[in-house]
Amino acid sequence: MFVKIMRHQTKTFFTFKNVKISTRNISNRPDFTKNRYKITRGNYNYLHEEHIHYFQNLLGESRIVMDLSDLEKYNVDWFNQVRGCSSIVLKPKTTEEVSNILRFCDLNKLAVCPQGGNTSVLGGSVPVFDEVIISTELMNEIVDLDEHSGVITCQAGCILENIDNYLETKGLIVPLDLGAKGTCHIGGNVSTNAGGMRLIQFGNMHGNILGIEAVKANGDVVDCLSTLKKDNTGYHLKHLFIGSEGTLGFVTKVALQCPARPKFRNVAFLGLQNFVKVLKTFKLLRQRLAEILSAVEVIDTPTMEFIKNVNSQNSPIGEYPFYLMIETSGSNERHDEEKLSGFFEEAIHKGLVLNGIVANEPAKIQKIWSVRENIANGFKARGSKMLQYDISLPFKDYYNIMEPIREYTKDVSETVFGFGHMGDGNLHLQIILKSDVTEKIRSKINDFVFEKILELKGSISAEHGIGLLKAKYMDKIKPQSSIKLMKSVKKLMDPNGILNPYKVLL
Ligand SMILES: Cc1cc2nc3c(=O)[nH]c(=O)nc-3n(C[C@H](O)[C@H](O)[C@H](O)COP(=O)(O)OP(=O)(O)OC[C@H]3O[C@@H](n4cnc5c(N)ncnc54)[C@H](O)[C@@H]3O)c2cc1C
C-alpha cells in the first residue's frame, strides 16, 4: 500500500509510488537533480507504509521528518545546486539505531543518503530521488577526551565548531578549520576527507583520525575506534571510510587527535603585484616561518571584487592584483613575532610584498579572516548560475590555468575568479555565468576545465570529493585498474548498492 499525503494550506501533493512532487514554486530553488541531469532511478523499492511504521517504532515520530516544508532543507544542498525528493528524514541517536535502520533498508532494498551538516559542495549529501535520508543531527555527543594524548572521541553528528569550543576549554584545538565549521559535522568532515585552512600545519583527516566506528550497509557495526597513535595491526580499515562520501558505510563515531591549542596567533593580509611574486613569497614564508605557519590563502582581484559586491567588504589594505592571507600559530609570542618581522623585512627588501597589515588581537584577526571566510556566502544566491571547481595544481602552474578558462568562457561568463588554500596547492576556481546555461554547455566547460587540469598534472578534486556532480568524470581521471578495485570494494561493503547511490562511482 502506498502513502498519500494532501496538505490543503500549502497545496502540496505527494505520492511515494510515482515519486512525483509538486510544491508551490519556491524561489531560487534548483531544478530536481533527476530532471536536470536526466538520471535514471536505480532498481530500489519505494517507501511503503509498513516501512514508515518500522521507523516510527524504532525512533518515535519526533525523530522522523515527513512534512514537505521541513523536508526541503534536507533535499536541497547548501549551495542551491541540487535537489532531491526524499519524503523522509530519520534522526537516529545511537549506533544501534543506525545499524537497525541500515539492516532494515538493506533487506527491503531502500536506498539511503547519509547526511551531516549538508554543506558539501558536489551534491553528495542530498538524495537524487527518494532515498531515505539518515541525518546525524542528533548524534552529537562527545564520548571521551583523553587529556594526556589529546584524543577526543565523539559521535559523528558533533558540529565541528562545537568540538573546537569544547577543546578550547581544555587547551586543545581541533586540527581542521573551514568556513562551514558552524554547520558541518565531524562525520561529514571524515566522509569527505575535508581539508580547510590549517591543513598546511596539521595535515588531513587521514592523518588526524585515529579511529572510526561505522555501520555497513547490512547493519554490521565495524569497530575500528582505536584511540592509539600507533596501531599497526592488519589493514587500516578506517581509511576506507575517510573520504568515501557515505558510499561504503555510515560513520557513527570518530576518534580525533587534537594538538595543544596555540597560545599566540598572528594574521597578516598582504598585497602583491603578480603571481610570480606570490610564489616567491610563499617560498620565503615556508623558509622563515616554518613550523608556526598555519595558513596561506590567496585571493585574486576578481575575487575581491566579488567579495565587495556580495558582502560589501573591502580589502583592508587597498587594491592590489593579488592578496595573501597568512597565519602563524605558536606558543611563544616573542619568538613568533621575531620570525614574522624577519619575514616582512626580507619580503619588503626583496620587493615581493607591496603592502600589508598584521593583527594579533582576536577581534582584529577575526575581521581579517572574515574577508576570506565570507566568500562562499555569495555562492548561495548564484546556485546553478555558477560553476565551481576545487582543484589541486603544481605550484608552478597554480594560476596559469585561469587565463585559458577566462578566454574559453568569455561569452557565457560574467566573471572567473580564483582563491584558495594556496599553501596546499589548492585553488577554488569559480565561473559566475551571465545566466543559467544548458547542461550541454555546462558539460563542455567542465570537459575543457578538467582537460586543462589533467594537462597540468593536477587533480579535479582537491578537498571536496566527487559527490554527484563529478561522478561522471571518474572514468577520465582515474586509471581503469583503480576504478575496478574501487567497484569491487563497493560491492563487498554494499552488495545491494543502497548507500548513497549515484555518487562517486557510477
Ligand atoms: C562556506 C563553506 C566553506 C567550505 N570550506 C571548505 C574547506 O575549506 N575545505 C573543505 O574540505 N570543504 C569545505 N566545504 C565543504 C564542506 O563543508 C565539507 O565537505 C564538509 O566536510 C562537509 O561536512 P557536512 O557535515 O556538511 O557533510 P554533508 O555535506 O552532510 O555530507 C558530505 C558527504 O559525506 C556523507 N556523509 C555525511 N555524514 C556521513 C556519515 N556520518 N557517514 C557517512 N557518510 C556521511 C554524505 O552522504 C555526503 O556524501 C565548505 C562548505 C561551505 C558551505
Question: What DSSP assignment string belongs to 182-245?
Answer: TT-BHHHHHHHT---TTHHHH--HHHHEEEEEEE-TTS-EEEE----S----S--THHHHTTST
For ligand 1, whether the C-beta of 135 sits within 6 Å is no
Domain count across the chain: 4
For the segment 77-107, what is each residue's pLDDT rounded down to a tens digit?
A: 998 989 999 999 999 999 999 999 999 999 9
For ligand 1, whether the C-beta of 184 sits within 6 Å is yes
Residue 9 shares a structural domain with residue 113? yes
Residue 148 shares a structural domain with residue 232? yes
Residue 27 pLDDT class (50, 70, 90 cuts): low
C-alpha of residue 194 to centroid of ligand 1, in Å? 7
C-alpha of residue 317 to centroid of ligand 1, in Å? 32
Residue 247 shares a structural domain with residue 192? yes
Domain boundary among 373, 391, 419: 373
Residue 81 shares a structural domain with residue 146? no
Residue 382 shares a structural domain with residue 368? no
Residue 11 shares a structural domain with residue 122? yes
First to last CA, the chain: 31
Q: What is the mean pLDDT of residues 33-56?
A: 96
- Which protein residue has the closest C-alpha to ligand 1 atom 11? 194
Q: What is the DSSP string of 240-254?
A: HHTTSTTSS-EEEEE
The pLDDT, as a whole number, for residue 219 is: 98
For the segment 164-211, what is each residue's pLDDT rounded down to a tens digit?
A: 999 999 999 999 999 999 999 999 999 999 999 999 999 999 999 999
Q: Is the pLDDT of residue 11 over 80?
A: no
Q: Ligand 1, closest atom to CA 183?
A: 26
C-alpha of residue 341 to centroid of ligand 1, in Å? 37
Identify whether 427 is part of a domain: yes
Residue 23 shares a structural domain with residue 128? yes
Residue 308: give its domain's CATH number: 3.30.70.2190
For ligand 1, whether the C-beta of 127 sits within 6 Å is no
Identify whether 383 is part of a domain: yes
Task: Say how far apart CA 227 and CA 390 lie, in whole Å.
Answer: 32
Q: Is the pLDDT of residue 20 over 70?
A: no
> Would you give the DSSP letter of residue 260?
B
Residue 401 shares a structural domain with residue 365? no
Residue 74: give its domain's CATH number: 3.30.43.10
Identify whether 33 is part of a domain: yes
Identify whether 35 is part of a domain: yes
Q: Is the pLDDT of residue 72 over 80?
A: yes
Cβ-based neighbour number of residue 369 at 10 Å: 21
Highest mean pLDDT among 219-223, 331-335, 473-477: 219-223
Q: Is the pLDDT of residue 7 over 60?
A: no
Q: Ligand 1, closest atom to CA 125?
A: 48
Identify whether 482 is part of a domain: no
Residue 197 shares a structural domain with residue 214? yes
C-alpha of residue 506 to centroid of ligand 1, in Å? 20
Task: Say how far apart CA 465 and CA 481 lie, in whole Å.
Answer: 20
Dihedral of the alpha carbons of 171, 174, 180, 186, in degrees to the nearest 10? -130
Residue 81 shares a structural domain with residue 112? yes
Q: Which domain holds residue 337?
A: 264-373
Residue 187: give its domain's CATH number: 3.30.465.10
Best mutation site among 119, 160, 459, 494 for ligand 1 pocket (most ligand atoms within 8 Å of CB): 119
For ligand 1, whether the C-beta of 188 sits within 6 Å is yes
Domain boundary among 345, 373, 401: 373
Best mutation site among 76, 125, 299 for ligand 1 pocket (most ligand atoms within 8 Å of CB): 125
Neighbouring residues of 149: CB distance < 8 A, sequence distance ≥ 6? 227, 229, 257
For ligand 1, whether the C-beta of 221 sits within 6 Å is no
Q: Ligand 1, closest atom to CA 241?
A: 43
- Which protein residue has the closest C-alpha to ligand 1 atom 48? 125
Residue 1 pLDDT class (50, 70, 90 cuts): very low
Identify whether 474 is part of a domain: no
Q: What is the mean pLDDT of residues 61-82?
A: 95
For the segment 415-468, what is each residue's pLDDT rounded down to a tens digit?
A: 999 999 999 999 999 999 988 788 889 889 999 999 999 999 999 999 999 999
Residue 79 shares a structural domain with residue 196? no
For the segment 371-405, what is each residue's pLDDT rounded down to a tens digit?
A: 998 898 888 777 778 899 999 999 999 999 999 99
Best mutation site among 97, 118, 191, 216 for ligand 1 pocket (most ligand atoms within 8 Å of CB): 191
Residue 156 shares a structural domain with residue 234? yes
Q: Ligand 1, closest atom to CA 245?
A: 49
The pLDDT, as a whole number, for residue 378 is: 83
- Note the maximum CA span of the chain: 78
The pLDDT, as a whole number, for residue 15 is: 30
For ligand 1, whether the C-beta of 194 sits within 6 Å is yes
Residue 71 pLDDT class (50, 70, 90 cuts): very high
Best mutation site among 133, 174, 178 for ligand 1 pocket (most ligand atoms within 8 Å of CB): 178
Task: Say how far apart CA 116 and CA 133 lie, in whole Å.
Answer: 10
For ligand 1, whether the C-beta of 500 sits within 6 Å is yes
Domain boundary among 318, 343, 373: 373
Identify whether 494 is part of a domain: no
For ligand 1, whether the C-beta of 445 sits within 6 Å is no
Task: Say how far apart CA 128 and CA 391 lie, in whole Å.
Answer: 25
Identify whether 489 is part of a domain: no
Mean pLDDT over each residue of the chain, to the nearest integer: 92
